[in-house]
Structure 1
Amino acid sequence: MDIIILLLITLSIYLLPQNKEYLNVKSTSGLRGFLAIGIIFHHLSQWVTSGDEFSNFSYMGTYIVSIFFFLSAYGLYFQNENKKNYLDNFLVKRLSKILVPFFSISLIYMFYRFLNGQLMDLDFFANLFKKGSTIIYNGWFVDIIILMYIFFYVSFKFFKISLFLLLSIQYS
């Protein structure tokens, strides 16, 4: 089943219109969409333990997320290089698109936990920071996106040498 899914994805990519600017916003948005579907399959593979439908996707999550982050960082870098004043209100625009939905879902999830009798006292929230976990299962992704936006902004706003690129290379 994995082979069929990968062949369909490959065929879909092959049928996309080709252009000389292969890493432009239009092309990378489509690829990031395919990667998002790959992540969904990765998460399904962790729950579907019988059969071969999603077995190979259980090993692909790290690679898919790495490619997704690379494409996102490349897009930020490209826009910063080609648009004047790109960093004006950068953090407000980017973080508001992430934090508003994240806090909304977190409140809903905390309410759900409360209804199920889970204790959420000060120790609960302190342990989130101590253990590096999040309120939402697999919410680490939001934390990483926020940190990447902050690193990107600081490195391109205040440093001539791109600290963002150096950190990206170091931690990739």
Structure 2
Amino acid sequence: MSELLLFVIVFFPIIVAIVKSIASPLRWSDTLPTSSSAALRGYMALMILWGHDTGGYYFIDGTLSYPYPWVISALRLGLQCTGFLFVGIFFALSAYGCRQKWVQDQNYIKSFLPRRIINVWMPFVLIGISLGAVKNGIWGGTYSQLFLNCFDFNVWPVHWYIIFALLFYVAFYCVYSSVTQHQDVIMCIVILCYLSYCYIAKKNEVYYVSQIGLLIGILYSRYEKMINLKKNKFLSWWAILFVVFLVIYNYPFLIWPKGIYISILNDGPIYRMISVGLICICAFFMLHFVDFSKSRWLRFLGTISMEIYLIHSFCMMLTDAFRIQMEPYLSYSVAYGIKTILTICFTIILALVYQRIIKKIKRYMLGNATIR
């Protein structure tokens, strides 16, 4: 029952938003609506939380012999295995938004880096240090690690996205503030060179395959006006093929109950990057048609997406203590379902608290800084 409740909490709002958009006449918006993009980011943050809180090795079983209905078991496994897709969409939306603002106002780049530091790095440091201090007090840890977390992700490993997003912002600022021609080409070359280096040097693919979303975000922003699925049936069919590929590649256990092994799809980073690129394109296509902000729940999540991402690791540690206490009386799966629900609740409550604190700090910093 707890697992079914989780699926209602997570999937129902997105289905409502899609149905509401389909119920009204489908219109192709020329650019991605900001409110809808923010709502989607909130949803992605919730999915990342759920993916990180799926129960570890217990949910990885080639025969899918979980104590849930088959489809729910397959989706549960899929969430654990494909979190990199959600992170890729985060990267794509971020790159898209940066370039769109630059196109609309060339002077935007002058205050770009200070604002990015205040909007992204400051919450990362504030939440990381405050919750890290509590973590050290309860579970132990070194305060040197806590300091290093301001520039790295060694205390909360799942926060690696923030560090790499900041590196992208620095690269974006350097290119678009100093280069007068072919900025997009140079930015794409920088991203491709970095990904090539990671692949050749055999870096941990967890920390770089999702960054192909940056390339997709830049390119989509550049060529967006040339794309219209309502007018171009050829592109519409390609979009359908994208979805089919993503389902077969990332969720084969939905089609074959015992799973499937395709050696070429297990080559690692290359095919994962292809998968991230395709899902980012699908997300962009969907945003032109579907207004995710029609769901109040998703719209609310969009306002605290950053805080959800930064806080959920701490809340997972807290709820894990509850799970250990529940296990003697409940089955492992039920205990984990309740744990995840509690993680979502605690994360949202803490996210709202930090959101208010961060808003006040941002207002003070931006109000007193010479940022225009």
Provide the C-alpha distance between the structure 1 equivalents of 2:139 and 2:34, rounded to a whole number of angstroms: 46
Q: 1:46 to 1:81 in 2, by over 3 A?
A: farther
Provide the C-alpha distance between the structure 1 equivalents of 2:32 and 2:148, rounded to a whole number of angstroms: 41
| Higher mean C-alpha deviation, range 101-110 or range 143-152 | 101-110
Report the Cα offset of residue 93 of structure 1.
Answer: 0.9
Amino acid in the other structure paired with 2:34: V
Q: TM-score, normalised by structure 2?
A: 0.39
When you count helix as a share of all residues, which structure comes out higher? 2
Report the Cα offset of residue 39 of structure 1.
Answer: 1.4
Residue 67 of structure 1 corresponds to 89
Provide the C-alpha distance between the structure 1 equivalents of 2:49 and 2:133, rounded to a whole number of angstroms: 25
SS of match in other structure, 2:110: coil
Q: 1:106 to 1:11 in 2, by over 3 A?
A: closer
Q: 1:112 to 1:32 in 2, by over 3 A?
A: closer
Q: Is 1:120 the counterpart of 2:129 in the alignment?
A: no
Provide the C-alpha distance between the structure 1 equivalents of 2:116 and 2:80, rounded to a whole number of angstroms: 30
- Answer whether contact 1:41 1:54 (CA < 8 A) is retained: no
Structure 1 runs of 4+ aligned residues shifted over 6 Å read 125-128
Could you give the per-residue CA deviations for residues 111-159 of structure 1, whole angstroms, max 9, x where no partner exists?
224424735265x57987xxx6422241212101111111111111112
- Answer whether contact 1:91 1:149 (CA < 8 A) is retained: yes
Aligned length: 169
Amino acid in the other structure paired with 1:63: L
Please identify the structure whose Cα radius of gyration is greater: 2
Q: Is 1:33 the counterpart of 2:42 in the alignment?
A: yes
Match of 1:20 among 15, 29, 38: 29
Structure-to-structure mapping, 1:1-172, within 5 angstroms: 6=11, 9-16=14-21, 18-47=27-56, 49=59, 51=68, 52=73, 54-116=76-138, 118=140, 120=142, 124=145, 133-159=153-179, 160-162=181-183, 163-169=186-192, 171=195, 172=212
SS of match in other structure, 2:156: coil
Q: 1:60 to 1:22 in 2, by over 3 A?
A: farther
RMSD: 3.3
Provide the C-alpha distance between the structure 2 equivalents of 1:44 and 1:152, rounded to a whole number of angstroms: 33
Provide the C-alpha distance between the structure 1 equivalents of 2:135 and 2:40, rounded to a whole number of angstroms: 35
Q: 1:121 to 1:60 in 2, by over 3 A?
A: closer
Provide the C-alpha distance between the structure 1 equivalents of 2:146 and 2:42, rounded to a whole number of angstroms: 33
Provide the C-alpha distance between the structure 2 equivalents of 1:7 and 1:107, rounded to a whole number of angstroms: 35
Provide the C-alpha distance between the structure 1 equivalents of 2:147 and 2:7, rounded to a whole number of angstroms: 44
Provide the C-alpha distance between the structure 2 equivalents of 1:81 and 1:22, rounded to a whole number of angstroms: 12
Higher relative contact order (CA 8 A, sep 6+): 2
Amino acid in the other structure paired with 2:37: T
Q: 1:99 to 1:119 in 2, by over 3 A?
A: same
- Answer whether contact 2:113 2:169 (CA < 8 A) is retained: yes
Q: 1:75 to 1:143 in 2, by over 3 A?
A: same
Could you give the per-residue CA deviations for residues 90-119 of structure 1, whole angstroms, max 9, x where no partner exists?
111111122222222232234224424735
Amino acid in the other structure paired with 1:20: S
- Answer whether contact 1:42 1:58 (CA < 8 A) is retained: yes
Q: 1:121 to 1:24 in 2, by over 3 A?
A: closer
Could you give the per-residue CA deviations for residues 45-90 of structure 1, whole angstroms, max 9, x where no partner exists?
2457464273221122111111221121111111101113011211
Q: 1:61 to 1:114 in 2, by over 3 A?
A: closer
Q: TM-score, normalised by structure 1?
A: 0.76
